[in-house]
Amino acid sequence: MKRLSGFVLFSAICLILPLLFPDNYYVTVVGLTIFINIILAVSLNLLMGYAGQISLGHAAFFGLGAYSSAILTIKYGLNPWIAMLTGAAFVAGLSYVLSRPILKLKGHYLAMATLGLGIIVHIFFVQADELTGGPDGISGLPSLSIMGMAIDSDLKWYWVLCSCMLLSVLFSLNIADSRAGRALSAVHGSEIAAQMMGIDTAMVKSHIFVFSALMASFAGSLFAHQQDFVSPESFSFFFSIELVTMVVLGGLGSTFGAVIGAFILSILPEVLIVFEDFEVLIFGAILMVIMIFLPEGLFVALKNKVAAFVAKRQEEGVDGPS
């Protein structure tokens, strides 16, 4: 299928890597972080890039999924998969209830409300120490098992997270090219015109908010089991901002843009560690430089350059070599 040719190539690369480099730290350890970040970035992109709704609080849903899994498995002894689904149901309900009033806001005010949401949830993680373990978090989650086989090695986690990541990318690509995706883009393009085409814009915004929150929640649960540990630090406002940066860096509105953005922002700190004290400075500089010279995002800029190149070649082909 031509539509998914990029996706097939991408999947092939992801699936081959651990076979070629089974002991490579970057593949087996950093790869896990990258996969989680991709799921988060792709889900945020559906909300921000397609529907055009800014969210500075996405880490909250990630954290709620993670803490739900941790608390329900350790304190209440639930089966990890049941705990994950319960957490997801809770996040779905919460995000739905919040979506209606929050999504009535626009622009910076919406950003503010989502920021507030993220910070309130984070503070709850830190303060409600009876339940959440406070700043020290919770550790010792039981392992996740699939059909009796426990996922207890980096390699096994690689396969699990890779599959989940590929699934979320596929979902996003499917949505983009569908009636639902066009409705999202229409809401972004002109809410009034979207309404005149019969789209219930409030409902569309609400649904995608819940959908992206759900994806984050599942990512959170997987993250909790993989790390064997949850603490508030991973779900702060800073991480929400990092997620927004990933989406914009790669190219807002593009699924693969979110993938590239997540990849770069996950790998950059690892790469920059060699610069020691200069790490933060250089990281900031790279961000600025990329956005100044490629404001439409890395992946989108690349795609446009390739498309322009192909169009030019076609033109020359028609006219014949001069």
Q: What is the closest distance, in whole angstroms, from the C-beta atom of residue 269 to other proteins in the complex?
A: 11
Provide, rounded to whole angstroms, the least separation between the CB of residue 93 and other proteins: 17
Beta-carbon contacts of residue 282 (< 8 Å; ≥ 6 apart): 272, 275
115 is a contact residue toward other proteins (CB under 8 A): yes
| Binding range to other proteins, per CB under 8 A, among 18-26, 36-44, 218-226, 273-281 | 273-281
For 297, phi then psi, to 5°, come to: 105, 150
Binding mask 290-309 for other proteins (x = CB under 8 A): -xxx-xxx------------
State in angstroms the smallest separation of the CB of 247 from other proteins.
Answer: 9
**286 sits near other proteins (criterion: CB under 8 A):** yes
Among 32, 60, 160, 249, binds other proteins (CB under 8 A): 249
CB of 136 to other proteins, least distance (A): 15
Instruction: Give which of 136, 148, 141 is closest to 78, Cα–Cα.
Output: 141
Closer CB to other proteins, 205 or 225, in the complex: 205
Non-local CB neighbours of 101 within 8 Å, separated by 6+ positions: none
As a whole number of angstroms, the distance between CA 308 and CA 204 comes to 34
- The correct pick among 29, 30, 92, 180 for binding other proteins (CB under 8 A) is 180
| Contact between 287 and other proteins per CB under 8 A | yes
> Using the rule CB under 8 A, which residue among 74, 92, 171, 301 binds other proteins?
171
What's the rounded Cα separation, in Å, for the pair 39 and 168?
A: 6
CA-CA-CA-CA torsion sign (14, 57, 237, 91): negative
Q: How far apart are CA 137 and CA 231, in angstroms?
A: 4
Position 189 contacts other proteins (CB under 8 A): yes
HSE value, Cβ hemisphere, 13 Å, CA-based, for 153: 7
Quick check: 185 binds other proteins (CB under 8 A)? Answer: yes
Return phi, psi of residue 145, to 5°: -125, 145
Instruction: Annotate each residue in 18-37 with x if it binds other proteins (CB under 8 A) or - if it does not, as one string.
Output: --------------------
Question: Binding to other proteins by residue 106, rule CB under 8 A?
Answer: yes
Given the complex with other proteins, which of 143 and 185 has the nearer CB atom?
185
For residues 29 and 112, which CB has a smaller minimum distance to other proteins in the complex?
A: 112
